Amino acid sequence: MNNIKYILLSAFFCLSIISGCKKDDTDTGNEGEFYPRIFDRSGAFQLANRIIAEGQSAVFSGLQFSPSDRAEVVWKVNDKVVSSDTAFVFKPTSGGEYKVTVEASFNGQMTSRTSNILVNPNTYSFKPFTNVALAYLSVDGLAKDVDWTKVTHVAFKCAWVNSDGLDVSAGQKNQAADELVARAHINKTPVILGISGNLSGIDGWSRYESNDFGAVIIDPAKRAVLVKQVVNYVTARKMDGVDVMMTDMSIGADKNIAAVDPLIKELKAALPANSIVTATVTTNWLRWGYGKLAAADWVNVHAFEDGAVSPGAARAQPSSYDYMLSCAANWVSIIPKDRIVLGIPAFGLRYTAIDANGNNLSWGSYDYVKYFDILKHDPQAFSKETTDMSFGVFYNGIPLVEKKAKYIKSAGFKGAYLWAADYDVLGEQSLMATIAKDLK
């Protein structure tokens, strides 16, 4: 009996020693070789960018540090030490871009987590400009596609009008619209919400037989609901205006076009003071149906892509200098040129099949290619208007864009817009940079 008691006491004593020597679950290993760790189970650093408005806070809590109670914790904002607590609340006093970093150090080793915070300023003034240099982003556009030194305005085509009203889900994906607005306002650049019906693709034109947008705006009651939805979204996202891209041209086009003017007037009246309201318009015979669009701050003229893609059509430049001149002249007969912003494409027309005469084969033997993809195919494409992709792709390279921009300025037009800015590249081969340079 005494032996059994002795054995039990010995076992208990050993277990007590082992238990007393046990480290916490995250502190295993040789302390001399231990590497500190930060556990972010709450997801405080999950997003690479966090976008908040001035007056809001970014909270970093729920973090665990290892070895617990022994790791030295330091918080930094833009590399300046601001706290040594295990949690941190960042309260910016002004708009801008900030880097928040937490570091955990132990035994000469250090690990860290970083979050970029974009703070949309409450008050800002727009940079001065003489001519509009508008970067128009497609639904896939992002803030990283914009060189803020080269633009006066940015439009984001992230809203669709359908039978259910305004669909803005694309702009909310990964906070794309919020980041764009924050970066724009930090760089003193206004952001315009682009709204349209269904688009056919890269060219930004209407989808065949689509009438979602038109069916809403021709009905005064539905139009009033749409105006309210647009105003609510623009106000909530702190955007600076709206562009109405009228693209429903295949069904009831004349009625749809006629409804753009009252839509512009109602948006202008309902939006906050000094909001920008514009229209992107067609250049064919339907242009007469718009009226003078007097309430619009300016009119974006789709002065590219002449549509010569019928079977047997000669392969040629669809967005030529002469075509832009004819589009400009057509609209000058309706409104003054100092209210006209002329469009320039950042994509090309590619022929995928040709007939025995070397002309376009059929209605389905062409497509469109983004400027940056053309450059991938031919690194020297920026200096030309055509290259040997498939049976030839025709586009606007830097020499043609430069010629167009110089004319726009010298002739007294309000400016130019690029569709779409996210098809462009940044740097020396940029079409947007060329436009900006020649409009100064």
Q: Which CATH architecture is the domain 132-439 placed in?
A: Alpha-Beta Barrel (3.20)
pTM over 0.95: no
Q: Flag the least confident range among 50-54, 61-65, 81-85, 244-248.
A: 244-248
- The CATH 2.60.40.10 portion of the chain extends over 31-120
Q: With b meaning 16 or more CB within 10 Å and e meaning fewer, what string describes 118-156?
A: bbbbeebebeeeebbbbbbbbbebebebbbeebbbbbbb
Residue 200's pLDDT band (boundaries 50, 70, 90)?
A: confident
Q: How far apart are CA 289 and CA 340, in angstroms?
A: 17
pLDDT tens figures, 353-363: 999 999 999 99
What single DSSP character describes residue 324? H
Q: Left if phi > 0, otherwise alpha if psi is -120 to 50, otherwise beta: which for 198?
A: beta
* pLDDT the model gives residue 11: 47
* pLDDT the model gives residue 320: 98
How far, in Å, are 69, 177, 381, 390, 431 from residue 377 at the CA level? 57, 31, 8, 11, 17
Q: How far apart are CA 416 and CA 437, in angstroms?
A: 12
Evaluate if residue 23 carries a pLDDT over 60. Answer: no
- The CATH 3.20.20.80 portion of the chain extends over 132-439
Evaluate if residue 14 carries a pLDDT over 80. Answer: no
pLDDT tens figures, 314-335: 999 999 999 999 999 999 999 9
The C-alpha torsion from 414 through 419 and 423 to 428, rounded to 10°, is -20
Q: How far apart are CA 161 and CA 168, in angstroms?
A: 9
Evaluate if residue 171 carries a pLDDT over 50. Answer: yes
Per the prediction, the chain carries an average pLDDT of 91
Q: How far apart are CA 142 and CA 156, in angstroms?
A: 9
- Residues whose CB is less than 8 angstroms from the CB of residue 281 and which lie 6 or more positions away in sequence, other chains included: 246, 260, 287, 290, 293, 299, 300, 301, 302, 331
Strand duo 347-351 + 366-370: pairing = antiparallel
Evaluate if residue 174 carries a pLDDT over 70. Answer: yes
pLDDT tens figures, 268-298: 999 999 999 999 999 988 899 999 999 999 9
Domain 31-120 has CATH 3.40.50.1220: no
